[in-house]
Structure 1
Amino acid sequence: MNIDDFEAYCFDLDGTVYLGNEILPGAKETLDFLRMNDKKVLFITNSPTQTREGCQKRLEALGVDVTSDEILTGPFISALYFSENFPDALIYVVGEEAIKTEFNHFSLKMTDDPLEATHVLVGLDRSFTYDKLNLAMTAVRNGAKIIVTNPDPTCPVPGGVVSDTYAIARAIEVASGQPIFEVTGKPSAFYGERILKQLNVERDRCLIVGDRLETDILLGKFSKIRTCLVLSGVAKKEDVDQMKIYPDYIIKDLNSLFFKVKQPY
């Protein structure tokens, strides 16, 4: 791959740029190289526990220069979704402070009363309890629609994975007997269109780089944006044929981004 093949490069974070508190091989060097060549960079994460400002601070602590406008997160995308589609919603949030922070920036209305909620927004909640499950279930049984920040069942961490948003969302779905209404995060078409709007580029001039076939690579497929799978996170090379989700490129880590031969897919 040649750097001038694309005008804009979009990077997932967990498993692509960093893992835990460690930056992954080649990440800083690749990002610096793109900046030196005046390429547009956008960080696209499904993380439901981080604001854009929080991601910015985390990246800067790892030596990566970035502005908040170069970051899209799960809570920010969900706030955009509600602002554009359900601006008058009363939202019962199952999730952490990042969601509420971003929703307050958009002046969206949240409620602690499940009986008055029009929607239940589900993100990762690391203090999720049986009582919270019952309250969310009550809201949905009373007519609220389930919106999910991201469809990730797990999240990569050093040494393995931890459970993520979709495990909680499916519990609420099963308990309530009502299907999930919408997922706003990757690989949704809503997320893909926001990427193009944020970067102001044509689809064929943009590349998505990520470590998950079912989110990062499918995002590209659904949005008609080319993709590169990086093997530094969740996915393994053998998963490609097993899941039948084919990226345009496959690389070991970001050290290889501009040296890997295009895959014959």
Structure 2
Amino acid sequence: MIKIEDYDVYSFDLDGTIYIGDRLLPGAVETLEYIRSNGKKVRFITNSSNLSREECKERLERLGLTIQLEEVVTALYLAGLYFKEQYPAARVYVVGDDQVKAELHRQCIETIDDPAKATHVLVGHDRAFSYDRIQHAMNAIYQGAKLIVINPDPICPVPNGYIPDTMTFAKAIEVASGRAIDQIIGKPTHYYADRLLEISETDPNRILIVGDRLETDIMLGQAHGFATCLVLTGVVSKQDIPKSRIKPDYVIENLSELFAFELPLEKSHLFEQHL
């Protein structure tokens, strides 16, 4: 099983890994305390397109966790950073919840309502997604705007099942416009991996990614040299693993088994896989 000294930075996805809805998942508190008590770093890496770093920190604190802002990376925050670094003069038409515009404004990026003036279309999770928004976005793209997507997740786990996520909306716009997506910000992209390395200040092989999605969390590690641990409290079931080309280094039922410090040795071995 994983030993605490094996890695210097333990990076956790949020939805389906640390919590679902307003409920912490088993082992979250104890695991984070154990990591910190051993002098290791914790990072929270979410593909959320409607949580700023500050909002993410506040949400985790409401659930009873102790968080430092510099430990948090959200795809929404990185979307703002992407424009700040690559296109500081961009005029962005947003397809997304209000938090998307707020984050862009926080990073001094202009948002506009007139698609004819847009240099970019940015797509996030959008509870008000509509025919008009598709039409406006596709018209902006017809006139040369680039299509940027905050994360590649098609669905998101919630207490009673799943809800549509960013890629569901992005694909509708991609089909309507006939233009391929120009850039995806969230896991498992190089952009996300590079930012994680920057804030981790260590070598890739000293980072463990813990998450519930093969195609984002585990692929992030597989593509960029991080070790990976799949937790079965979110989207993926144990039966899904043999069907996928994406193989985690470890598989656990929930976070209480990450170090197996509260489980009999023979039980923890049932869920350990070195693939």
The two structures share one fold, judged by TM-score above 0.5: yes
Range with greater deviation from structure 2 (253-262 or 147-156): 253-262
1:37 Cα deviation from its structure 2 partner: 1.1
Question: Does residue 74 of structure 2 align to residue 73 of structure 1?
Answer: yes
| Aligned ranges 1:1-265 → 2 under 5 Å | 1-259=2-260, 260=268, 262-265=272-275
Gaps spanning 5+ residues in structure 1: where? none
Aligned mates of 2:273, 2:72 — CA distance in 1: 28
Identity %, equivalent residues = 49
Letter in 1 for 2:82: Y
Cα displacement string for residues 158-204 of structure 1 (whole angstroms, at most 9, x for unaligned residues)? 12111111010000001111111111000101101101101111111
TM-score (norm 2): 0.94
Cα displacement string for residues 197-235 of structure 1 (whole angstroms, at most 9, x for unaligned residues)? 011111111100000000000011111111100000001
1:101 Cα deviation from its structure 2 partner: 2.0
Aligned mates of 1:231, 1:87 — CA distance in 2: 40
Give the SS at the match of 1:13: coil
Give the SS at the match of 2:273: coil
Aligned mates of 1:96, 1:173 — CA distance in 2: 19
Give the SS at the match of 2:116: coil
TM-score (norm 1): 0.97
Letter in 2 for 1:182: Q
Cα displacement string for residues 111-166 of structure 1 (whole angstroms, at most 9, x for unaligned residues)? 11101111100000101111111111111111111100001000001121111110
1:106 Cα deviation from its structure 2 partner: 1.5
Letter in 2 for 1:15: G
Range with greater deviation from structure 2 (14-23 or 70-79): 70-79
Letter in 2 for 1:20: G
Give the SS at the match of 2:115: coil
Aligned mates of 1:155, 1:72 — CA distance in 2: 18
Give the SS at the match of 1:258: coil
Aligned mates of 1:151, 1:244 — CA distance in 2: 18
Gaps spanning 5+ residues in structure 2: where? 261-267
1:237 Cα deviation from its structure 2 partner: 1.5
